[in-house]
Amino acid sequence: MTNLVLFGPPGAGKGTQASILKDKYELIHISTGDVFRYNIKNQTELGLSAKSYIDKGQLVPDEVTINMLNAEVEKNEGANGFIFDGFPRTEAQAEALSTYLESKGTEVHAMIALEVEDEILVERLLERGKTSGRPDDADEAVIRNRINVYYNETAILKNYYQKQDKYYGVDGVGSIEEITARLSEVIDELMK
């Protein structure tokens, strides 16, 4: 199995790249943001409890998110591996993921981060907001809050995976194809 965490601030291009890479490497793509949005659209209990956090650009509580992630992994037994997009976002989530994958006899093999400057992120997200229909992309204050939450709560995970020698940084500015090529270089090396 190959389990990858695609990492980076909101607007770094994780979703775009994950949907290309999942086909290229035959991995299951799990985006916690997409799962939350699906649940909000379908007005499930999970969706209702997550919506108020998401609309403000805050993180959904760990327990809710971790249980949801485990259930998504569980649905895909027999997979070649996973691309986790938007998860983990806290150390508690990283620990939970590690414990869960260990119980399945596997692990996170790498965290690959897309590195993009803040002002480019804000521009990209405002542009995406014109068509994404996401309330959290429509308001610049919420966008800036999401980026702050990333630096205050999530960015520490770089350290967490660096300590395990599993962190790879990739320049996230360029064409979609260029960035896919940079990510593929790292993944090809891991899969050798």
Q: Which of 67, 76 has the CB closer to ligand AMP? A: 67
Q: Is 143 in the site for ligand AMP (CB under 6 A)?
A: no
Q: Is 158 a catalytic residue?
A: no
92 is in an annotated binding site: no
Among 2, 3, 5, 10, binds ligand AMP (CB under 6 A): 10
Catalytic residue among 22, 41, 104, 134: 134
> Is residue 169 left, alpha or beta, with left meaning phi > 0 and alpha meaning psi from -120 to 50?
beta
36 binding ligand AMP? (CB under 6 A): yes
Residue 125 binds ligand AMP (CB under 6 A): no
Q: Does 32 sit near ligand AMP (CB under 6 A)?
A: yes
**Strand partners of residue 170:** 114
126 burial (CB, 10 Å; 0-12 / 13-18 / 19+) is middle
Number of C-beta neighbours around residue 10 at 10 A:
25
Does the protein bind ligand AMP through residue 86 (CB under 6 A)?
Answer: yes
The DSSP secondary structure of 74-126, one letter per residue, reads HTTTT-SEEEEES---SHHHHHHHHHHHHHTT----EEEEEE--HHHHHHHHH
90 is in an annotated binding site: no
Orientation of helix 176-191 relative to helix 14-25, angle to 10°: 50
182 annotated among ligand-binding-site residues:
no
What is the identity of the amino acid at 78?
Answer: G
Q: Is 87 in the site for ligand AMP (CB under 6 A)?
A: yes
Does 58 carry a binding-site annotation?
Answer: yes
Q: Write out the binding residues for AMP.
A: 32, 37, 58-60, 86-89, 93, 134, 146
Residues lying near ligand AMP in the complex (CB under 6 A) are found at 10, 32-33, 36, 53-54, 57-60, 65, 86-87, 89, 93, 136, 146
